[in-house]
Amino acid sequence: MPTVIPAEQLTVWAPRAERVTLQAGEHRLAMQRDEAGWWFPAAPLPAELASGPIDYGFILDDDERALPDPRSRRQPHGVHELSQTFDLTGYPWSDTLWTGKQLAGGVIYELHVGTFTPEGTLTAAIERLDHLAAVGIDFVELMPVNAFNGTHNWGYDGVLWYAVHEGYGGPLAYQQFVDACHQRGLGVIQDVVYNHLGPSGNYLPRFGPYLIEGQQNTWGDSVNLDGEDSDEVRRYIIENAMMWLRDFHVDGLRLDAVHALQDNRATHILEELAVEVEALSAFVARPLTLIAESDLNNPRLITPREGGGYGLTAQWSDDFHHALYVSLTGDTSGYYADFDSLAALGKVYENGFFHDGTRSSFRGRTHGDRIDTLRTPTWRLVVCSDNHDQIGNRAAGDRLASRLDRQQLGLAAMLTVLSPFTPMIFMGEEWGASTPWQFFTSHPEPELAEAVSKGRLEEFEQMDWDLSVVPDPQDPQTFMNSKLNWSEPSKGAHAELLALYTRLIELRRTYPDVVDPRFDRAVARSDDDRGWLLVERGQIALAANFSDRATALDLSVPGEVLLAVGTGEVTAERVRLGPHSGLVLLLSDDATAR
For residue 461, name the pLDDT band (cuts at 50, 70, 90): low
What HEC string does 329-343 produce?
Answer: HCCCCHHHHHHCCHH
> Is the pLDDT confidence value at 4 over 70?
no
Residue 244, pLDDT > 90, answer: yes
pLDDT of residue 457: 77
Q: Which CATH class is domain 522-593?
A: mainly beta
* Pairwise CA distance, residues 486 & 213, whole Å: 45
Asked if domains 7-90 and 522-593 share a fold, the reply is yes
pLDDT in tens, 132-171: 999 999 999 999 999 999 999 999 999 999 999 999 999 9
**Residues 6 or more apart in contact with residue 108 via CB below 8 angstroms:** 137, 138, 139, 140, 141, 189, 382, 422, 423, 424, 425
The letter for the amino acid at 509 is R
In angstroms, the Cα distances linking 305 to 212, 353, 423, 439 are 28, 21, 25, 37
- Tell me the torsion sign for CA atoms 411, 413, 418, 420: positive
Distances (CA, A) of 506 to 42, 186, 308, 518: 61, 16, 37, 21
pLDDT at 219 > cutoff 90:
no
At the topology level, CATH places domain 7-90 in Immunoglobulin-like (2.60.40)
Report the predicted TM-score, pTM, of the whole model to 2 decimal places.
Answer: 0.96
Residue 583 burial by Cβ neighbours in a 10 Å radius (0-12, 13-18, 19+): buried
**With 70 as the cut, is the pLDDT of residue 328 above it?**
yes
User: Are 535 and 542 a contacting pair, CB within 8 Å?
Assistant: yes
pLDDT at 1: 40
Say what the pLDDT of residue 222 is: 92
Q: Which pLDDT value is given to residue 342?
A: 98
Question: What residue ranges do the domains of the chain occupy?
Answer: 7-90, 444-474, 522-593
Q: Model confidence over 406-459: pLDDT tens digits?
A: 999 999 999 999 999 999 999 999 999 999 999 999 999 999 988 888 877 777
pLDDT of residue 589: 81
Model confidence pLDDT, tens digit, residues 479-538: 999 999 999 999 999 999 999 999 999 999 999 999 999 999 999 999 999 999 999 999
Q: What is the pLDDT of residue 2?
A: 42
pLDDT of residue 593: 41
User: 191, 226, 293, 536: which is the annotated catalytic residue?
Assistant: 293
**Residue 9: what pLDDT?**
78
If you count them, how many residues does the chain have? 594
What is the spatial distance between Cα 468 and Cα 174, in angstroms, rounded to a whole number? 38
Other residues' Cβ atoms within 10 Å of the Cβ of residue 306: 7
What contacts 583, CB < 8 A, 6 or more positions away?
541, 542, 543, 561, 563, 564, 565, 568, 570, 575, 577
Instruction: For residue 293, indicate whether it is catalytic.
Output: yes
**Active-site residue, selected from the candidate residues 256, 272, 319, 430:** 256
Active site residue 232: no
Give the pLDDT score at 594.
45
Q: Is 408 helix (H, G, I), strand (E, B) or coil?
A: helix
For the chain, the average pLDDT equals 94
DSSP-derived 3-state class of residue 107: coil
- pLDDT of 5: 60
> Which of the 8 DSSP states describes residue 68?
P
